[in-house]
């Protein structure tokens, strides 16, 4: 009987050889894995071994080697350094005595990057919402966008109709405002008709100057900040209700923290559903607490909204009505969908019209702003100046 000679045991696998016969020791290589530094808690590896019909054994962070196949995926990994090792095993149960090894580090999610640096001097911002659907035309406001020099465009929700699918964005928004305003200058907020966030986020992803969907494309709410000139703006998501909107507790806490940390004197915030309104949609009373708890004490200077398909400008407003120390609110739902009644003037409303599609122009200064409604159709206009609080 031929005597087997035990040469070595590696990871529970015996390396065997017959007298006078050399065992073919596998050589194992890792082909791909995660970046050396990443925030992802999932890691996938592919690997191979010299020779044919080899099997593999894997180990993570010093654990006992266990049978595995390529690709090998680990999920739910902790923040910190990790080491993956893999050893090929040939048909004679001979294991690679020097397994391939890869070390990488998972770091906590990085804080959001600072807003883009402002252009020198003042800045011009154009704004409107409620823009386009299959039976409406935004040709007039699209041409006005082309003809008016600007530094940024705020699209205040309902960029298309009806449900925010990728097909609707491609068919109705992209040939319209998407063709007139460079996406790098576009800073949108979703409206109730952007109920399918995948279409909204997919349309903007990789095109806008900042990530407008930082919470992920499937999230019900989005929020982000950006800076232009000597102003900081905050985009919020007031939900998908057809009537009134609100802000989540998470949005409220985030806004409070960001306003407290702002390096600029002047602050503007915008979302789709207005706190104060009359006409085709009423006021969003759920926003009164946000106005009292965050907007007022953090010295917000301007609130922009859409949803109502008309133009309405309010005086400085407190949480529930006019307040000389409050915040001016302007509705510009005049992007092209249609125009609807402005209703009976509520307390604090200073100007209103449903006669013209158009854009709100903001000329921003370090200590305030000038506003002017630019009609794309009709003859209505409105203008004035305000100093930051």
Instruction: Note every long-range contact of 99-103, with CB atoms under 8 Å and residues 24 or more positions apart, other chains counting.
Output: 99/11, 99/28, 99/59, 99/65, 100/28, 100/29, 100/30, 100/47, 101/30, 102/30, 102/33, 102/45, 103/36
Say whether 169 sits in a helix, a strand or coil.
Answer: helix
177 domain residue, yes or no: yes
pLDDT digit string, tens, across residues 328-364: 999 999 999 899 999 999 999 999 999 999 999 999 9
pLDDT digit string, tens, across residues 270-314: 999 999 999 989 999 999 999 999 999 999 999 999 999 999 999
Domain identity same for 75 and 214:
no
Give residue 140's region: left, alpha or beta (phi > 0; psi -120 to 50).
Answer: alpha
Q: Work out the angle at residue 190's Cα, subtended by the Cα atoms of residues 378 and 322, and round it to the nearest 5 degrees.
A: 65
19 domain residue, yes or no: no
Domain identity same for 346 and 285:
yes
Q: Around Cβ 316, how many Cβ atoms within 10 Å?
A: 16
pLDDT digit string, tens, across residues 13-42: 444 444 444 557 899 999 999 999 888 899
Q: Are strands 327-332 and 152-155 parallel, antiparallel or unpaired?
A: unpaired
Pick the last residue of a domain from 71, 106, 141: 106
pLDDT beyond 80 at 216: no
Domain identity same for 214 and 347:
yes
Does the model's pTM come out above 0.85? Answer: no
pLDDT beyond 70 at 3: no
376 domain residue, yes or no: yes
140 domain residue, yes or no: yes
Domain identity same for 102 and 227:
no
Domain identity same for 149 and 229:
yes
Domain identity same for 211 and 314:
yes
Domain identity same for 218 and 325:
yes
Range of the domain at 195: 123-387
**Distance in Å from the first CA to the final CA of the chain:** 98
Q: What is the pLDDT of residue 121?
A: 62
Domain identity same for 206 and 80:
no
Q: What is the pLDDT of residue 133?
A: 66
Pick the last residue of a domain from 106, 131, 155: 106
Within 13 A of 212's CA, how many CA atoms are on the CB side? 30
- Report the CATH number that the domain containing residue 94 is assigned in CATH: 2.60.40.10
Q: Of the candidates 160, 245, 250, which has an alpha carbon nearest to the alpha carbon of residue 202?
A: 160
Instruction: Give the span between the Cα atoms of 230 and 122, in whole angstroms.
Output: 7
User: How does residue 175 score in pLDDT terms, banded at 50, 70 and 90?
Assistant: confident
**What Rg value do the Cα atoms of the chain yield, rounded?**
30
113 domain residue, yes or no: no
User: How does residue 136 score in pLDDT terms, banded at 50, 70 and 90?
Assistant: low
Q: Around Cβ 187, how many Cβ atoms within 10 Å?
A: 24
Q: How many domains does the chain have?
A: 2
Domain identity same for 312 and 171:
yes
Domain identity same for 78 and 149:
no
118 domain residue, yes or no: no
User: How does residue 5 score in pLDDT terms, banded at 50, 70 and 90?
Assistant: very low
- Report the CATH number that the domain containing residue 281 is assigned in CATH: 3.60.21.10
Domain identity same for 359 and 212:
yes
290 domain residue, yes or no: yes
Q: Of the candidates 78, 59, 57, which has an alpha carbon nearest to the alpha carbon of residue 69?
A: 57
116 domain residue, yes or no: no
Domain identity same for 129 and 101:
no
Pick the last residue of a domain from 106, 141, 165: 106
């Amino acid at each position: 009987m031929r005597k087997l000679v035990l040469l070595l045991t590696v990871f529970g696998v015996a390396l065997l050889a017959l007298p006078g016969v050399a065992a073919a020791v596998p050589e194992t290589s890792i082909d791909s894995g995660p970046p050396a530094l990443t925030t992802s808690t999932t890691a996938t590896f592919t690997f191979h071994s010299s020779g044919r019909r080899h099997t593999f054994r894997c180990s993570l962070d010093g654990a006992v080697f266990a049978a595995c196949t390529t690709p090998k995926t680990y999920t739910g990994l902790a923040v910190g350094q990790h080491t993956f090792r893999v050893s090929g095993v040939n048909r004679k149960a001979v294991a690679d005595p020097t397994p391939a090894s890869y070390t990488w580090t998972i770091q906590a999610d990085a804080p959001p990057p600072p807003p883009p640096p402002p252009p020198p001097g003042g800045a011009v911002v154009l704004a409107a919402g409620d823009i386009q659907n299959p039976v409406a035309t935004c040709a007039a406001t699209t041409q006005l966008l082309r003809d008016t020099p600007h530094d940024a465009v705020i699209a205040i929700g309902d960029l298309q109709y009806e449900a925010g699918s990728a097909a609707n964005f491609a068919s109705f928004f992209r040939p319209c405002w998407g063709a007139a305003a460079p996406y790098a200058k576009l800073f949108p907020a979703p409206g109730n008709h952007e109920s399918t966030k995948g279409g909204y986020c997919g349309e903007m992803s990789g095109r806008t100057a900042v990530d407008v969907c930082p919470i992920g494309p499937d999230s019900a709410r989005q929020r982000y900040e950006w800076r232009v000139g000597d102003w900081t703006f905050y985009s919020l998501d007031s939900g998908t209700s057809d009537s009134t909107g609100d802000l989540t507790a998470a949005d409220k806490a985030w806004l409070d923290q960001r306003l407290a940390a702002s390096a600029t004197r002047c602050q503007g915030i915008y979302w789709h559903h207005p706190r104060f309104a009359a006409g085709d949609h009423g006021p969003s009373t759920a926003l009164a607490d946000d106005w009292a708890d965050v907007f007022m004490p953090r010295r917000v200077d301007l609130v922009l909204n859409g949803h109502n398909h008309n133009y309405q400008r309010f005086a400085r407003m407190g949480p529930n009505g006019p307040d000389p120390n409050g915040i001016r609110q302007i509705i510009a739902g005049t992007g092209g969908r249609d125009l609807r009644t402005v209703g009976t003037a509520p307390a604090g409303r200073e100007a209103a019209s449903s006669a013209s599609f158009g854009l709100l122009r903001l000329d921003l200064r370090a200590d305030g702003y000038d506003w002017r409604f630019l009609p794309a159709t009709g003859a209505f206009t409105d203008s004035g100046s305000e100093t930051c609080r």
